[in-house]
């Protein structure tokens, strides 16, 4: 079977001049038969599309906060460290992926990046800014437990790609984020929420596969087949199936 080549966007340790990412993304993609590669974050505007043409899909990885400037807001109390250079590169890759309909799996920061790239906004800090509409108990989205421990339920919409993958309306996930999707980007639909209403999955129906999850399946897949199925479905889409 052909092994698809998947571009992984890395984090940038700018002071040390390093690109880095979690090996967990590589382990998950390789276990599902893909060849992951880290892409440059200093790509020139003219090269985003060139790279998108040559790879079979993109994984947008976790990391620091998206600059509020990218969605037209001041940085408020509670916002973390931002790296406009990383934002710029990932917006460029996402636009190119959309243009050539390359499959996208976006994880944690990734869901926030693709939402903002499509014109959406974020809660800059859930504890400080988010109020559950129905007064439901607010959940701990920055869990203090290890990442391979699932700590909260998400409710999966039945008419969604995510439901086709996990075949369950309620799944357990981990939660390591303090920001979340607020206003949706153009073309996106919310397909899963936590019990307090926080957006946990978005999908873009005009692409063959574009799924953003707020949790970290790369730390759960080894023990949870439903989480592995997310990577399997993504890799399958990257193979063009």
Tell me which residues touch Mn ion (CB under 5 A): 141, 175
Given the complex with Mn ion, which of 160 and 175 has the nearer CB atom? 175
Region of residue 105 (phi > 0: left; psi between -120 and 50: alpha; otherwise: beta): beta
CA dist., res. 139 & res. 56, Å (int): 36
Closest CA to 81 of 71, 94, 66: 66
Environment class of 48 (CB within 10 Å of its CB; exposed 0-12, middle 13-18, buried 19+): buried
Given the complex with Mn ion, which of 200 and 232 has the nearer CB atom? 200
CB of 198 to Mn ion, least distance (A): 6
Given the complex with Mn ion, which of 109 and 141 has the nearer CB atom? 141
Task: Tell me the DSSP string of 16-34.
Answer: TTEEE--HHHHHHHHHTT-
DSSP one-letter code for 65: B
CA dist 16 → 11, 13, 178, 205 (Å): 12, 6, 25, 39
CB of 135 to Mn ion, least distance (A): 18
CB of 211 to Mn ion, least distance (A): 16
Given the complex with Mn ion, which of 172 and 207 has the nearer CB atom? 172
CB of 177 to Mn ion, least distance (A): 6
CB of 199 to Mn ion, least distance (A): 9
What residues have CB less than 8 Å from 29, skipping those under 6 apart? 6, 8, 35, 36, 59, 231, 235
> Partners of 65 in the beta sheet?
82
Given the complex with Mn ion, which of 123 and 209 has the nearer CB atom? 123
CB of 160 to Mn ion, least distance (A): 17
Given the complex with Mn ion, which of 176 and 204 has the nearer CB atom? 176
E strand or H helix that includes residue 89: helix 84-99
Given the complex with Mn ion, which of 51 and 181 has the nearer CB atom? 181
Task: Give Dmax over CA atoms of the chain in angstroms.
Answer: 50
CB of 32 to Mn ion, least distance (A): 24
Task: Tally the C-alpha atoms within 13 A of residue 42's C-alpha that lie toward its C-beta.
Answer: 5
């Amino acid at each position: 079977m052909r092994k698809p080549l998947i571009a992984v966007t890395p984090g940038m340790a700018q002071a040390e001049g390093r690109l880095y990412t979690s090996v967990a993304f590589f382990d998950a993609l390789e276990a599902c038969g893909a060849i992951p590669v880290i892409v440059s974050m200093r790509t020139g505007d003219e090269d985003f599309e060139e790279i998108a043409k040559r790879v079979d899909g993109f994984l947008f990885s976790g990391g620091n906060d998206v600059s509020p400037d990218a969605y037209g807001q001041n940085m408020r109390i509670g916002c973390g460290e931002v790296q406009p250079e990383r934002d710029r590169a990932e917006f460029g890759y996402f636009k190119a992926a959309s243009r050539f309909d390359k499959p996208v799996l976006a994880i944690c920061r990734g869901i926030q990046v693709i939402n903002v790239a499509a014109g959406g906004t974020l809660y800059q800090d859930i504890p400080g800014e988010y109020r559950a509409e129905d007064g439901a108990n607010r959940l701990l989205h920055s869990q203090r437990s290890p990442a391979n421990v699932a700590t909260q339920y998400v409710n999966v919409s039945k008419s969604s790609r995510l439901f086709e993958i996990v075949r369950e309306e309620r799944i357990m996930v981990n939660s390591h984020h303090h920001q979340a999707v607020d206003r949706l980007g153009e073309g996106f639909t919310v397909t899963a929420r936590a019990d307090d209403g926080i957006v946990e999955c978005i999908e873009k129906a005009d692409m063959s596969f574009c799924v953003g999850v707020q949790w970290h399946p790369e730390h759960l897949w080894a023990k949870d087949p439903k989480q592995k199925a997310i990577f399997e479905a993504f890799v399958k889409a990257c193979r063009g199936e």
